[in-house]
Amino acid sequence: QETQVQLQETQAQLQETQVQTQEVQVQLQETQVQLQETQVHFQETQAQLQETQVQTQQISQDKQELQTRVQELQEENRHFRAEFENPHWVIQKEEVQMTQEILGTGGWGEVKVGIFR
């Protein structure tokens, strides 16, 4: 009878251990699902990061190109300003003798032949 009691106790412990094992297996499966979800989220985040890095590189390249273009335009502007601000090309009215010969007529008036100096 004592052996039977010990057997029953052992079976009860075994059942309890099996229940605990099943609970641990369920927890393990839940943890594995969470891990997979976390890995998917991590991969999505990495993909977004890479896309953002590509966009950042493109923006940086565009910025550099725009800065270069601005410098070119500023140089061009300096060149044209220097040309227009230099008074050596200005012709004084007294230096031109107008003739009556008309070269053409348009909406703004007539173009006549003039003699310089």
Cα four-point dihedral sign 20, 23, 28, 31: negative
- Closest residue by Cα to residue 102 from 94, 93, 91, 113: 113
* pLDDT tier, 39 (very low <50, low <70, confident <90, very high otherwise): very high
DSSP 87: G
Across the range 74-94, mean pLDDT stands at: 81
**H-state helical runs in the chain:** 2-85
pLDDT in tens, 87-100: 666 788 888 999 99
* pLDDT of res. 85: 73
Model confidence at 116: pLDDT above 80: yes
